[in-house]
Amino acid sequence: MAEQEKEATLPSKENFSEWYNGMLQIAEIMDVRYPVKGSYVWYPFGFSIRRNVYDIIRGLLDKDHQETLFPLLIPENEFMKEAEHIKGFEEEVYWVLNGGTTPLDVKLALRPTSETAIYPMYRLWVRSHADLPLKLYQIVNTFRYETKHTRPLIRLREITSFKEAHTVHATWDEAASQVEEAIRLYIEFYKRLAIPVLPSKRPSWDKFPGADYTIAVDSLMPDGKTLQVGTAHHLGDNFAKTFDIKYEDVDGEQVYAHQTCYGVSERCIATLLSTHGDDKGLVLPPEVAPTQVVIIPIIFKEPEAVLNACNDVKAELEAAGVRVTIDDSDKRPGSKYYKWEMKGVPLRIEIGPRDLKNEAAMLARRDTGEKEQVPLASIKDEVLSRFKIIQTSLLEKATSELNERIFDCSTVDDVKEKVQDGIALVPWCGEEKCGLDLDEQVGAGILGIPTDMDEDGTYKCPICSKETRTRVYVARTY
């Protein structure tokens, strides 16, 4: 499939939006030409990144969650039970009305999220305190009839890869701890993708419909906008009351359970590709790169000796669990470099006759472009140690880029200016009116109150001038 795209030109990352669209197509992540708005096709290469990324999140969750799978179709009566929840979703839900040529008796919603599919079953499954905590998750497609501009991996009508966890606990406090645990888990997940994220508690007007509160993690995109890449909601006993989820406590009393839910979508892939990529294409952390090492034989004489050496290196690396490809195609080296750089392969090994004479190989890092000659005898260790270095280096680079773009602001004008470049940290008195005023005046949104920051200063709300010890992140958002 790559043939027709050969050596297409990727726009500079400075024009982020064009770079993003070009990267998705040229690096073969998503094809946007599917004939339904907001639905996109995963190219096999893109999907292999998705597999590696979702293996990480599965691994993290499997420690104390279980994977499960609930139906896509939700009957109207269940969907309509939770008033606040439905209000948040009613304009966004796709409805199945016909089966074959027959109108259905009961309208069926395509899940926009699965609370109303899962909780009628939790009512049956949760009986006793011994059943708690219950921690399940599923990875599914969900649907939102988005009227805003859609964008692959970011704003979709079919979210193809929604990882949603739903937990049940005995007490409100235990559910609150689980929300914290979920955020820790997401921070760890993004760290594995070499991406720093900012956790913050969403203001009340921006919480999940039906939740007591919401904590979210955001990443910073290259254009200075933030992308919400994970959310965790404390549902209190709100849904438990609606769906009658009770358990018998140690004293034999029937008590409403407390719940949380938390989710991550393929936005994690959007931020992965956008954060690390450059003008040459993708830059992938080794753990998620479908090909971790590409070996390029430099052949003009002794082709057999060179190819043998390449095969030996491949065998040795594969035995160590490394995903390796030899590119022995007829293309010229420059064209091979172009291709594998576009695909974000973390390390390129070049072996030619001169290297063989030195019993060495050239090792080129995708992230920095650094080239170094290394002895063939220790090639495995050289590769494995560089994987760690690359991972650390990508995370450090992304972290310092993020930190450079978080700005302390004290006036509305200051905020207005700084959100053009990144995230403003702004005092806020806590009044909803001031928050909404601020949003409107700066044309950006309050993300929330950082949950990982100990404030010890005193500040002034830029709207009402009241003193406050609280600051919030403000940013333009996707």
Q: Which positions touch its own copies (CB under 8 A)?
A: 1, 3-4, 31, 33-36, 39-44, 47-48, 50-51, 66-75, 78, 90-102, 106, 108, 110, 117, 120-121, 124-125, 127-128, 130-131, 134, 136, 140-141, 143, 145, 157-158, 160
The option from its own copies, Zn ion, none interacting with 98 (CB < 5 to 8 A, set by class) reads its own copies
Q: Which does 334 bind (CB under 5 to 8 A by kind): Zn ion, its own copies, none?
A: none
Of the two residues 128 and 378, which places its CB atom closer to its own copies in the complex? 128
Q: Say if CB 87 and CB 79 are below 8 A apart.
A: no
463 binds, among Zn ion, its own copies, none (CB under 5 to 8 A by kind): Zn ion
Minimum CB separation of residue 41 from its own copies in Å reads 5
What's the rounded Cα separation, in Å, for the pair 9 and 279? 10
- Which ranges of 261-360 does DSSP label H, i.e. alpha helix? 267-276, 303-319, 333-342, 353-357
- Give the footprint of Zn ion on this chain (CB under 5 A): 429, 431, 434, 461, 463-464, 466
Q: Which partner, Zn ion, its own copies, none, binds residue 254 by CB below 5 to 8 Å per kind?
A: none
Name the binder of 172 from its own copies, Zn ion, none, CB < 5-8 A by kind: none
Q: Which is nearer to its own copies, 37 or 357 (CB)?
A: 37
* CA separation, residue 385 to residues 148, 269, 347, 391 (Å): 45, 25, 12, 10
Closest by Cα among 221, 226, 147, 133 to 177: 133
Give min distance, CB of 71 to its own copies, in A. Answer: 4
Q: How far is the CB of 108 from its own copies (least distance, A)?
A: 7
108 binds, among its own copies, Zn ion, none (CB under 5 to 8 A by kind): its own copies
- Residue 52 and residue 33: Cα distance in Å, rounded? 25
Name which of 125, 153, 198 is nearest 53 in CA terms: 153
Nearer to Zn ion, 32 or 464 (CB): 464
**Residue 94 binding partner per list its own copies, Zn ion, none, with a CB distance cut-off of 5 to 8 Å that depends on partner kind:** its own copies
Cβ 70 to its own copies, closest distance in Å? Answer: 5
SS3 of 206, please?
helix
For residue 255, the minimal CB distance to its own copies (Å) is: 17
Residue 415: how many CB atoms within 10 A of its CB?
A: 22
Nearer Cβ to its own copies (44/334): 44
209 binds, among Zn ion, its own copies, none (CB under 5 to 8 A by kind): none
Helix (H, G, I), strand (E, B) or coil at 290: coil
Nearer to Zn ion, 132 or 463 (CB): 463
Return left, alpha or beta for 262; rule: phi > 0 is left, psi -120 to 50 is alpha, else beta.
beta
Q: Which of 304, 263, 278 is nearest to 401 (CA)?
A: 278
Closest CB to its own copies among residues 50, 348: 50
The closest alpha carbon to 448, from 120, 203, 106, 94, belongs to 203
Supply the minimum distance, in Å, between the C-beta of residue 199 and its own copies. 28
Going through 186-281 in order, the beta strands assigned E by DSSP cover: 198-201, 213-220, 226-236, 246-248, 254-256, 258-264
Smallest distance from its own copies to CB 88, Å: 12
Kindly report each contact of residues 11-17 with a partner whose C-beta sits within 8 Å and lies 24 or more positions away, as own/partner: 12/279, 13/222, 13/277, 13/278, 13/279, 16/221, 16/222, 16/223, 16/274, 17/223
Q: How far is the CB of 76 from its own copies (least distance, A)?
A: 11
Query: Which amino acid, residue 282?
Result: L
Q: Which does 461 bind (CB under 5 to 8 A by kind): Zn ion, its own copies, none?
A: Zn ion
Q: Which is nearer to its own copies, 74 or 474 (CB)?
A: 74
> How many C-beta atoms surround the C-beta of residue 151 within 10 A?
18
Considering the complex, what minimum distance in angstroms separates the CB of residue 245 from its own copies? Answer: 13
CA atoms 465, 466, 467, 473: torsion sign = negative
One-letter amino acid at 452 equals: D
Q: Nearer to its own copies by C-beta: 152 or 285?
A: 152
